[in-house]
Structure 1
Amino acid sequence: MKLRVATFNVENLSSRWRFADVQRGDVTAAMSLAEFDRPHEREAAERSVALTLEDDKRQMTALAIAEARADVLCLQEVDSLRVLEAFFANYVHRMSDIRYGHFKLMEGNDRRGIDVGFAARRSLLRPDQVTVTSHREGTFEQFDVFDRDIAAFGIKPGDRVFNRDCLMVDLDLGHMTLTLFVCHLKSMNNGKADGRPATMPLRRAEARAVRALVQRRFGPDWRRANWIVAGDLNDYSEVIGPLGAVDSKPSPALQVLTEHFGVNPVADLPPHERWTHFHRAWIEDEGRIREEHVQLDYVLLSPALAERGATVEIVRRGLPYRTPLDPRDPDRSIPRLATTADRYPRVGWDRPKASDHCLLAVEIDLPANRRD
């Protein structure tokens, strides 16, 4: 059975116009040009700007989902089940000829309230064929992943290990079953230049917990089972720089999930295609702009699924024009980037955009259940 499984960080699919008292980054520029006499006037203007940007953005997010034509969707940064259902009803289903249902989301541990979610083609299975288990309450001690590096953060063994959650989604497809472990690991951004190494112990602990979940779920036969770890893992094993130069950057967090465990089908692509996220920033210590294409989003296949082969599609038409779609292109000038890219209508230079991540879809050949 052919099945298309996709993961997509939809970047703050929110029912709230702001998180707590922090101004939304996508409205900051416009608001900086305006002056207001009263706080409520500023708030009303900010709400208006945010809603306008959100409508443009969500049309593009929906276009990326429609283009991928996935049977199963693993989603990150979703505010609530209500907003997930509203987004599909009012955006995705107006653009796609696939009807989705089986929406699942449980409130996780993220301080902003952004969660991982799930959706599947409505005709793929019945509601009683989808079972979801949250692991938001799981602790470092329970998963045996507490160590000195974790203790250095002031964390205790009884604290929760997942920064968001790891949703285990069991799909009963009759003669076939598939279990998804939907993740969104700890961000690399701690507000400092050393964000990646500084936060690595937390991601590594989460990755170890995910691996433990897989092995507990399937026991000694885990290599032969049908499972997928999917989501924004917030780390990479290589950086693709200007001119397509590849620099290996091993990640202890990813190695837990990919070395003698899950298989990353994106690794089989040509080097200049192995990315789902573009980062461009001024590095003060180096006195220059640094540009990096990296893979942050993964669909990791069990050894049994990987043996049957997989086809990879990365949807990039929703990215802003400032993103070079081919890392090998030496011309990064504004005229070049603004006129030589295949994008959805109304995509902007920096915004609006579908997301700051690409949608990653992997088509697998799902085998029937083993009856040894």
Structure 2
Amino acid sequence: MRLATYNVENLFNRAKAMNLEGWAEGKPVLESFARLNQLLGEPLYTAQDKVQMVKLLIDLGLEKSDRAPFVILRQNKGSLVKRPKAGGLEVVANGRTEWVGSLDLIEAPVDLEAMRNTARVMIDLKADVLAVVEAESRPALRDFNDEIVGGLGGPLFKHVMLIDGNDARGIDVGLMTAEGYPIGQMRSHVDDAGANGELIFSRDCAQFQIPLPSGKQLLVLVNHLKSKGFGSLAASAQKRQAQAERIKAIYQALVAQGEAYIAVVGDFNDTPDSAPLAPLLQGTDLKDAFTHAAFDDGGFPGTFDSCKAANKIDYLLLSPALFATVTAGGVWRKGMWPGSKPKRWDVYPELDKKENAGSDHAAVWVDLNL
């Protein structure tokens, strides 16, 4: 069986603020969006809250209209704001129950050739079980499988599943499996909270059971941990560590129940030597597929962007029993932009400019003798 993980960076549509040339351009929009959404969810709006809301609304370009280049304010019933003819902006609602609506990111289509290169990676991986990171929704994942993968002549995944997570940007985690590998029981951890009541997972730690032809079962925990590029570095590191500690607890509980074949996979947004990932990489018996003697990293230690060691952020962590079944493994980079001169790795002929990259992440895979 081939197990793989791939951050696809959305399939059809992506928030416009995330689709700009550089992360630095969209970061202020996403930060203001997140903070304003947090304030809008409060049951009561204090005078200080309203001052902050007005500033954030203006920062997002919503001073004169409910629609801005990157976001849209929906006031479906009742009013959050009023815009006097004399100018300015006023928050008139006194709490979340006084108006019905939402603050949404505006989406833009993903480049068509980029979609096809994402599909080419999926086809060439030949994965029986593929963990997918940053997919918009289950319908998007299903339609991508049918229309893009199928349109390029690739074999369709038989089973496609995604549970919406905690991120309002439409970057969720899911699983696609081939004929013979049905998806059994599923469990979401979106409601897992810390001692302070704050939700632990930025997206989810989605748990999928795969019954195997041998009569055994594989458990795959698909993750997308907190990014370094959103909020302060210290706060994001603290969040990732809390997530790693919770995943550790989930993993150890499964081991205590007698589960042997467990994979913790996905985009962890940090390196193997980082303190936030220590609970998983040092505090458990999980083994990184990269360390297996049969694993070939293709001459590059990383999985993201330039694939340097500092860009090793995508993982296949395997329980000892599962690690013992590995017969081969590697990193698939043909859908990634290889740089201009010289090119770092071979790519698809259709990937002739950076915008056509299927993702700026590589796919990571292992073959398992189960």
Output the CA distance in 2 between the equivalents of 1:63 and 1:229: 25
Aligned to 1:91: 148
Equivalent AA in structure 2 for residue 9 of structure 1: N
Q: Does the CA-based 8 Å contact 1:279-1:292 persist in structure 2?
A: no
Cα 1:91–1:355 shift into 2, 3 Å: same
Partner of 1:62, secondary structure, is helix
Aligned to 1:303: 320
Matched, 1:13 2:17: no
Partner of 1:311, secondary structure, is strand
Partner of 2:185, secondary structure, is strand
Aligned to 2:211: 172
Aligned to 1:351: 355
Matched, 1:211 2:248: yes
Output the CA distance in 2 between the equivalents of 1:140 and 1:227: 24
Cα 1:348–1:302 shift into 2, 3 Å: same
Q: 2:185 aligns with which of 127, 131, 136?
A: 131
Partner of 2:143, secondary structure, is helix
Matched, 1:234 2:269: yes
Partner of 1:314, secondary structure, is strand
Deviation at 1:125, TM superposition (A): 3.5
Partner of 1:11, secondary structure, is coil
Deviation at 1:346, TM superposition (A): 2.3
Output the CA distance in 1 between the equivalents of 2:212 and 2:353: 43
Provide, for residues 87-106 of structure 1, a one-character-per-residue CA deviation record: whole Å limited to 9, x for no partner.
11111123354320221111
Aligned to 1:81: 138
Partner of 2:8, secondary structure, is strand
Structure 2 residues not aligned, in runs of 5+? 24-66, 71-106
Partner of 2:266, secondary structure, is strand
Say which structure is richer in helix: 1
Deviation at 1:191, TM superposition (A): 6.2
Matched, 1:277 2:301: no
Q: Does the CA-based 8 Å contact 1:321-1:348 persist in structure 2?
A: no
Partner of 1:277, secondary structure, is coil
Cα 1:303–1:191 shift into 2, 3 Å: same
TM-score (norm 2): 0.70
Output the CA distance in 1 between the equivalents of 2:121 and 2:160: 18
Deviation at 1:353, TM superposition (A): 0.3
Deviation at 1:83, TM superposition (A): 0.7
Matched, 1:317 2:334: yes
Identity percentage of aligned residues? 28
Partner of 2:173, secondary structure, is strand
Q: Does the CA-based 8 Å contact 1:102-1:130 persist in structure 2?
A: no
Output the CA distance in 2 between the equivalents of 1:298 and 1:166: 14
Provide, for residues 159-210 of structure 1, a one-character-per-residue CA deviation record: whole Å limited to 9, x for no partner.
1100000110011124121101010000011366xx3x55211111101111
Partner of 1:168, secondary structure, is strand
Provide, for residues 317-344 of structure 1, a one-character-per-residue CA deviation record: whole Å limited to 9, x for no partner.
111131xxxxxxxxxxx4433xx75211
Matched, 1:360 2:364: yes
Structure 1 residues not aligned, in runs of 5+? 29-39, 44-48, 142-156, 238-249, 281-290, 323-333, 367-372
Deviation at 1:360, TM superposition (A): 0.7
Point out the more displaced range, 213-222 or 199-208: 213-222
Q: Does the CA-based 8 Å contact 1:9-1:359 persist in structure 2?
A: yes
> How is 1:4-43 mapped onto 2 (pairs within 5 angstroms)?
4-15=2-13, 18=15, 22=17, 24-26=19-21
TM-score (norm 1): 0.70
Q: Does the CA-based 8 Å contact 2:125-2:332 persist in structure 1?
A: yes
Aligned to 1:257: 280
How many pairs are equivalent?
286
Equivalent AA in structure 2 for residue 4 of structure 1: R
Cα 1:219–1:341 shift into 2, 3 Å: closer
Matched, 1:117 2:117: no
